[in-house]
Chains A and B, each alone.
Chain A
Amino acid sequence: MPLRPSSMYSLVRMPSRAIYRRVVVSQQLTSFTYERTYRTTAFRRNLSEDESAMLQEPREEDEADVVIVGGGPAGLAAAIRLKQLELERGKQVRVVLLEKASDMGNHTLSGAVIEPKALKELLPDWLEDPPTTLTPVKSNKMRFLTEKYSIPLPEPPQMHNSGNYIVSLSEVVKWLAAKAEELGVEVYPGFSVNELLFDQSGAVAGIATNDMGISRAGAPKDNFQRGMEFRAKVTLLAEGCHGSLTKGVIKKYDLRRGKDVQTYGIGLKEVWEVPEENWREGEVLHTMGWPLTSKVYGGGFMYHFGERLVSVGLVVGLDYANPWISPFREFQRMKHHPIYSNVLKNGTCVSYGARALNEGGLQSVPKLIFPGGALIGCSAGFVNVPKIKGTHTAMKSGMLAAESAYNAITSDTTNESAIALYDYEDNFKKSWIFEELNEVRNVRPSFHNPLGMYGGILYSGLDTLLLKGRVPWTFHHKASDAASTQPADKFKPIDYPKPDGKLSFDLLTSVARTGTMHNEDEPVHLQVKDWDAHTTSSYPKYQGVESRFCPAGVYEYIPDETKKEGVRFQINSQNCIHCKTCDIKVPAQDINWVCPEGGDGPKYMLT
């Protein structure tokens, strides 16, 4: 009988040296069968008839007016808005919100300095009962770093932060979730969704939650629990950056036609408790330059908030070409620069995490609606890159979608066909989200030029200070992040310094701080069709790029003389912190990230 891990306290799967589990090099398949549901529970060929029957058991069904997949700022803002409209106008709507994290806010990670614009619109008296750890921004610094020095830089106007707040977005999400529940939203953390339901016309008709209790080989275990279906008139996908359902929906309904590919960055951060003398409440610092070279987009940040807490992190654009780059190790060495170490020294690191974020801007926003639902928040991608803010636009998009959905659901029409939220798309184009993103649309793409960062800074300076996007041209993202990766033999391996255990840390210590946990006996949720074939196609060319871009040590190439390339590909799915970087950056795009069982993944604190 399968057991919980024998030690409740040992969770981080130690790559290589630890006790070997019997790793099933499995053929996990994802079949996006567009006629039916997305079947992502892998079937091994030798399942018994009984087992197959169990996996196909009909599910219990329930109905809701609106189902929201994802409980971040966008999803919660949409839920709250729907219930506010119910109070205003009287017609009831059942709103069900599903979140894969074990608790609201556990998978939320962001800098974060938020602009309260959307928050004020949604909850005008939010300051009367504010979230915990809300620190008004007091000072703003921008610096260009070389290995030892820091040079002050003028700030673009977008980065002025007066009226903004430094927060732990995880805490804000908890606070929003409490508000949503008060208003009557059914909030269910601990349930992940990999499957959309479709009706005969091919429109989205709802969702099905994941089956729980499936073994690594794909067979039902003793505690197997079939998922549940929710039929919904409107399904809002609020999965955050590069959502897994979103990926499928964009493909199925061709939502990217005429739009640029989405480009991304990876944001890694830590939260530190620092000594009183190093802490300056409300200080916001952004840095560019070292340790990133001129060819890599990105920058560091450090925010002083809460009670002697500091959020420190690094964002690295995932369009980097050099496969030897390790964003994690860049982040760790960045902290040794005096401008950071002077704050962090003698402090304690309490939390670590990472998440991909959108950098594509307006050009990469796909068509937002599909029959039966819509994309909101970072699933669509509304981050204002020069401002480095996306929470306000995400929330506003949730609110706009909610208004459109409420009107559609409560209208008196007898039309039986699936709801199309045309209002939402139209209102988005008329909203301040569009205006903001339009103004800065050329900033990020201006970095795709031969001068790299310097060309980008020059153009961006011009655009943000003078032109403000009022130009007839729009730069485009020519290639996806995955395609921008170049072979390893074009570059030299980077010699990163060893972590010192006080300011910088090794990967596994950091992963332990995320509280991430996946059952040992669970299907590997990072789906690669054939691990050996992947090694053959990827390792000689990129020399293990996956092991470097993953901020959690999920991917490893272990020396193995019995294999053709001398290494064996291994996926330590238990370490995964759900950042989605692998799905974005793997050059051959042969890693498919799907949601593991509900409740799995990190348990972020104060991020």
Chain B
Amino acid sequence: MPLRLNIVVPVKRVIDFAIKPRINASKNAIETNGVKFSLNPFCEIAVEEAVRLRESSKDLVESITLVSAGSAKAQDTLRAGLALGADKATLIEIPAIDDSKSLELEPLAVAKLLRAFVKKSNANLVIMGKQAIDDDSNQTGQMLAGLLNWSQATNASKVTVDEASGVVTVSREVDGGTETLSAPLPLVITTDLRLNTPRYTKLQDIMKAKKKKTEKVSPESLGVDISSRLEILSLSEPPKRTGGGKVDSVDALIGKLKETGAI
């Protein structure tokens, strides 16, 4: 039986990486009014990787499905992913708690939603970003693998699929160097920065993406309780950086370090 990959790529809509985030007036969340949102850069790399797998070998990839859990505005993000080359997209629509804010999902809730979705869509490979640039959690992929009881290869910087044996080899960058893992399918891969450089979307693909299907489902239909288990008490900016001081000898340096309690 030839190997066929049914890939699910979860994506997230986040504040654009070029924007300087600000805390809102009530000091309980990041300001989102008037701010530009985009597809999370790591998720974009994940979509690109899925598309490259498809291009690497004919018939290897059966379908690439995008999924995102968020407000209705996440449809734009899904369309951007469709324009990169995915086949279809599903939005798990999270209701808004007030006019502009929708419920902030925690990684565990997202992982549970994804588990339900992945099971429903018969996927055998999940490629997702290692973390979202707004919360930098780096948890969802690992939690998802645990909930699904699948292998996981996180922070991938190179992915190779051996069609004959169905084994996926993943190189990951770790502190000490590069670690290479191999695992059979089904597998969860989370992408790191150097995995690939996403292509520019062609205007023609954006036009085609408008015709691709986007479904909407609710968290209830997936049987998942998405209520928060954590409560954000307050948010504040880190203290402004004050100037440093200069010292003129090693002894003075040691003295300063002792003063500040560093050594």
Tell me the minimal C-beta distance from B203 to chain A in angstroms: 5
> Is B116 among interface residues, defined by CB-CB distance under 8 A?
no
> Is B233 among interface residues, defined by CB-CB distance under 8 A?
no
Q: Which residue of A6, A168, A515, A597 contacts B19 across the interface (Cβ within 8 Å)?
A: A515
Given contacts A2-B197, A223-B197, A606-B34, 20 further A-B contacts (CB under 8 A): A3-B193, A3-B197, A6-B193, A8-B41, A9-B17, A60-B202, A60-B204, A103-B36, A106-B36, A132-B34, A168-B34, A209-B203, A228-B202, A273-B25, A350-B22, A512-B20, A516-B18, A603-B18, A605-B34, A605-B35
Tell me the minimal C-beta distance from A272 to chain B in angstroms: 12
How many B residues are at the interface, by size bracket?
20 to 34
Q: Are A515 and B34 in contact (CB under 8 A)?
A: no
Q: Please give me the residue from chain A that is nearest to B133 by CB atom.
A: A8
Contacting residues, chain A, for B207 (C-beta < 8 A): 186
Q: Please give me the residue from chain B that is nearest to A106 by CB atom.
A: B36
Q: Are A228 and B203 in contact (CB under 8 A)?
A: yes
Q: Are B199 and A223 in contact (CB under 8 A)?
A: yes
Which 8 A-B pairs rank lowest in CB-CB distance, beginning with the nearest?
Answer: A212-B200, A517-B18, A606-B34, A225-B200, A515-B18, A515-B19, A605-B34, A603-B36
Name, among B16, B22, B34, B38, the residue most crowded by chain A CB atoms within 10 Å (CB to CB): B34
Contacting residues, chain A, for B25 (C-beta < 8 A): 273, 307-308
Q: Which residue of B16, B38, B193, B200 contacts A213 across the interface (Cβ within 8 Å)?
A: B200
Tell me the minimal C-beta distance from B238 to chain A in angstroms: 14
> Is A188 among interface residues, defined by CB-CB distance under 8 A?
yes
Contact with B along A595-607 (1 / 0, CB 8 A): 0010000010110
Q: Are A225 and B36 in contact (CB under 8 A)?
A: no
> Is A567 among interface residues, defined by CB-CB distance under 8 A?
no
Contacting residues, chain B, for A60 (C-beta < 8 A): 202, 204
Contact with A along B61-95 (1 / 0, CB 8 A): 00000000000000000000000000000000000
Binding site for B on A (CB under 8 A): 1-4, 6, 8-9, 11, 60, 62, 102-103, 106, 132-133, 168, 170-171, 186, 188, 190-191, 209, 212-213, 222-223, 225, 228, 273, 307-308, 348, 350, 512-513, 515-517, 597, 603, 605-606
Tell me the minimal C-beta distance from B43 to chain A in angstroms: 13
Contacting residues, chain A, for B19 (C-beta < 8 A): 515, 603, 605
A-B contact pairs, 9 of them (CB 8 A): A3-B197, A6-B193, A8-B41, A8-B133, A8-B193, A102-B36, A168-B34, A186-B207, A517-B18
Measured in the bound complex, the distance between the Cα atoms of B193 and A11 in whole Å is 16
Q: Please give me the residue from chain A that is nearest to B42 by CB atom.
A: A8
Q: Which residue of A171, A225, A512 contacts B34 across the interface (Cβ within 8 Å)?
A: A171
Q: Please give me the residue from chain B that is nearest to A598 by CB atom.
A: B200
Contacting residues, chain B, for A512 (C-beta < 8 A): 20
Tell me the minimal C-beta distance from A177 to chain B in angstroms: 12
Q: Are B197 and A222 in contact (CB under 8 A)?
A: yes
Measured in the bound complex, the distance between the Cα atoms of B178 and A7 in whole Å is 20
Contact with A along B200-216 (1 / 0, CB 8 A): 11111011000000000
Contacting residues, chain B, for A223 (C-beta < 8 A): 197-200
> Is B33 among interface residues, defined by CB-CB distance under 8 A?
yes
Measured in the bound complex, the distance between the Cα atoms of B20 and A348 in whole Å is 13
Contacting residues, chain A, for B34 (C-beta < 8 A): 132-133, 168, 170-171, 605-606
Measured in the bound complex, the distance between the Cα atoms of B38 and A308 in whole Å is 27
Contacting residues, chain A, for B22 (C-beta < 8 A): 348, 350
Measured in the bound complex, the distance between the Cα atoms of B77 and A550 in whole Å is 34
Contacting residues, chain B, for A515 (C-beta < 8 A): 16, 18-20, 36
> Is B194 among interface residues, defined by CB-CB distance under 8 A?
yes
Q: Please give me the residue from chain B that is nearest to A224 by CB atom.
A: B200
Tell me the minimal C-beta distance from B199 to chain A in angstroms: 5
Q: Are B203 and A188 in contact (CB under 8 A)?
A: yes
Q: Known contacts being A223-B200, A225-B202, A606-B33, is A102 close to B38, with CB within 8 Å?
A: yes
Contact with A along B112-142 (1 / 0, CB 8 A): 0000000000000000000001000000000
Contacting residues, chain A, for B197 (C-beta < 8 A): 1-4, 222-223
Tell me the minimal C-beta distance from B19 to chain A in angstroms: 5
Contacting residues, chain A, for B16 (C-beta < 8 A): 102, 515, 603
